[in-house]
Copies of this chain bind each other. A is one copy, B any other.
Amino acid sequence: MNATLHIVSMGPGDSAYLTPSADQALEAAQTVMGYRLYLDLLGQRMAGKRRVDFELGQERDRARAALAEAAAGVPTALVSSGDAGIYAMATLVFETIEQAYPTACPNVEVVPGISAMQLAAARAGAPLGHDFCAISLSDLLTPWAQIERRLRAAAEGDFVVALYNPVSRRRTWQLDQARDHLLAHRAPETPVVIARDLARADESVTHTTLEALNTYTVDMLTVVIVGNSQTRQFGGHIYTPRGYHTKESLLATDEHG
Can you list, as one digit per residue, whether each of A101-143 has a CB less than 8 Å from chain B (1) or not (0)?
Answer: 0000100111111110011011101111111111110101111
Contact of A86 among B83, B128, B154, B157 (CB under 8 A): B128
**What separation, in Å, do the CA atoms of A24 and B109 have in the docked complex?**
28
Contact of A114 among B19, B138, B253 (CB under 8 A): B19
Shortest A59–chain B CB gap in Å is 6
* Cross-chain contact A242 with B141 (CB below 8 angstroms): yes
Best-buried of A129, A131, A165 by chain B (most CB within 10 Å)? A131
With A95-B241, A133-B131 known as contacts, the answer to whether A252 contacts B149 (CB < 8 A) is no
Nearest B residue to A80 via CB reads B257
Contact of A20 among B15, B38, B232 (CB under 8 A): B15
Inter-chain contacts of A128 with B (CB < 8 A): 85-86
| Chain A positions 212-257 with a Cβ under 8 Å from a chain B Cβ | 220, 232, 234-235, 237, 239-244, 249, 252-257
Kindly state whether residue A11 has any CB partner on chain B within 8 Å: yes
With A94-B126, A125-B94 known as contacts, the answer to whether A142 contacts B243 (CB < 8 A) is yes
* Cross-chain contact B133 with A256 (CB below 8 angstroms): no
* Cross-chain contact B254 with A141 (CB below 8 angstroms): yes
Nearest B residue to A60 via CB reads B253
Nearest B residue to A237 via CB reads B94
Q: Count residues of chain A with CB under 8 A from any CB of chain B.
A: 95
Kindly state whether residue A197 has any CB partner on chain B within 8 Å: no
Kindly state whether residue A90 has any CB partner on chain B within 8 Å: yes
Kindly state whether residue A5 has any CB partner on chain B within 8 Å: no
* Cross-chain contact B94 with A140 (CB below 8 angstroms): no
Inter-chain contacts of A176 with B (CB < 8 A): none
Inter-chain contacts of A38 with B (CB < 8 A): 257
* Cross-chain contact A91 with B240 (CB below 8 angstroms): yes
Instruction: Enumerate 5 A-B pairs (CB-CB under 8 Å) in ascending A order.
Output: A16-B24, A81-B257, A94-B234, A113-B118, A131-B133
